[in-house]
A and B are shown apart, each in its own frame.
Chain A
Amino acid sequence: MPDNVIEMENLVKYYDGRCILDGVSLAVPRGCIYGLLGRNGSGKTTMIRILLGLEPPTRGHTFVLGEDSMRLSAKTHGRVGYVAEGHQLIQRYKVRRLVDLCRGLSLQWNEELFGHLMEMFRLPRDRRIKELSAGMRAQLNLALAMAIDPELLILDDPTLGLDTVARRQFLELAIDVIQRQGRTILFSSHILGDVERIADRIGILVAGRLVVDCTLEQLKSRIKRLRIIFPTQAPDDLYLTEVVNRQAQGREMVLTVANWNPQKQAILETFHPDNCTELPMTLEDIFIECTRPATAVVPQESEV
């Protein structure tokens, strides 16, 4: 039985009559770095907030470290490091006071690590939080989340406002965390390059639905971009199912297809192409294809 650190069963959330999450089911196994992607307003932050018990779901259940999100014990909160979207923290407090508060209330605290991070990020202790830049607040938030030696890190857009060097530092930190026994990371981000680098599994939220939930490798194998050269003009009547995007110019056609399989290969063959090469797709390419409105074509479990 896999040890799932996060579990979601048919999560539904309505807010002000609008459907934010429409039946999301998800499981994050221990030791995984899960990258959650989605356009602005797709429901990522709501999902994370429900996970942490900050908001109640309309229907469905979520579990963190085996406990129901709506009844998370203080102990479980102590095992989860959270970086909230926007990194608001407590604006009025000075950094020092906030740190003391966190240190006092936490179950475990790695002062060495925290001190090292504060130094690395060069965060001033005597300034008020509202006087810090967004990036510095993000870094403070991250340092506070890491100082408790969390089993699970839940990060909502953790690199918002971070400069290039700081983003790299964050990635290295994340890798460092994951290398330790039994740690798991769930993070949402708009910087797909970062997600591609460090994530094991990818989830893509489109309009409240999880249209993709698999490993990065599987995702890349399920959606393919092909460059096909035909002897004469590229045919107009190449009917393949689950074509996400098609571009034709002269003899050349670039086809983006989900769930490529021998059947589709066979259909393509009937048009006698001269050559067919696969063009590598970055995560960004795949993401853009998956989030096109009214596409309704998504990479599924292969039927083969």
Chain B
Amino acid sequence: MQFRLDNASDRPVYLQIIDQVKRDIALGRVAAAERLPTVRQLAQQLAINPNTIAKAYRQLEQEGVILTRAGAGAFVADSDSMLSRAVRRRLICDELDRIVVEAFHMQIDKETLVDWFAAALEKFNLAEKKER
């Protein structure tokens, strides 16, 4: 797994890591039961405090995205489990809420928003097909 940090972004580092892990799982780049880099490895690679990585991994585990096994490391959770599905639903819906609010403030009407959403889905599908 390759991680990259956006230093210019306002988004806290641990959230960036969480985002990337989720993204890679969603894109099928990491399979279920696959091992993630250790806290140590990642801290070294990105030159950030190991506690930040640990925090990201803890939150991912709470959300059911990964599982940690003492001594063995962190592994991608079985993505079809009921728990993670509910978690995923909550996460996506939170994002959707945020986008809806932003769009409202920018005075973008519902129809345009739906069009844009469809276009984004289309773009993602194309990108996914390319990667496969």
Q: What residues make up the interface of A, taking CB atoms closer than 8 Å to B?
A: 33, 168, 171-172, 174-176, 178-179, 193, 196-200, 217, 220, 229, 275, 277, 279-282
Contact with A along B42-65 (1 / 0, CB 8 A): 011001111100010000000000
Cross-chain contact of B44 among A33, A179, A199 (Cβ < 8 A): A179
A164 CA to B33 CA in the complex, in Å? 38
Cβ–Cβ contact B11 & A197, under 8 A: no
> In the complex the two chains form, is B10's CB within 8 Å of A198's CB?
no
Q: Looking at chain A's contact residues, is the secondary structure mostly helix, strand, loop, or mixed? A: helix
Q: Which 6 pairs from chain A and chain B are nearest by CB?
A: A171-B47, A280-B10, A172-B47, A197-B48, A198-B49, A175-B43
Asked if residues B10 and A175 are in contact (CB atoms below 8 Å), the reply is: no
Our count of residue pairs bridging A and B at CB distance below 8 angstroms stands at 45
Query: Counting CB contacts under 8 A, is B87 at the interface?
Result: no
| Count of interface residues, chain B, beta-carbon cutoff 8 Å | 18
**Min C-beta distance of B74 to chain A, whole Å:** 17
Q: Show the binding face of B for A, using Cβ within 8 Å.
A: 7, 10-13, 40, 43-44, 47-51, 55, 98, 101, 104-105
Q: Provide the residues of chain B in CB contact with A198, threshold 8 Å.
A: 47-49
Question: Which single member of A175, A220, A277 contacts B47 (CB below 8 Å)?
Answer: A175
Using CB atoms, name the residue of chain B closest to A280.
B10
Q: How far is the CA of A179 from the CA of B54 in the complex (A)?
A: 13
The reply to whether A281 and B48 contact each other, CB–CB distance below 8 Å, is: no
B101/A275 in contact, CB under 8 A: yes
Cβ–Cβ contact A33 & B49, under 8 A:
yes
A198 to B105, CA, bound (A): 36
Q: Which residues of A contact B44 (CB under 8 A)?
A: 172, 175-176, 179
Q: Is the CB of B101 within 8 A of A200?
A: no
Q: How far apart are B105's CB and chain A's nearest CB, in angstroms?
A: 6
Report the separation of the CA atoms of residues A268 and B112 in the bound assembly, to the nearest whole angstrom: 32
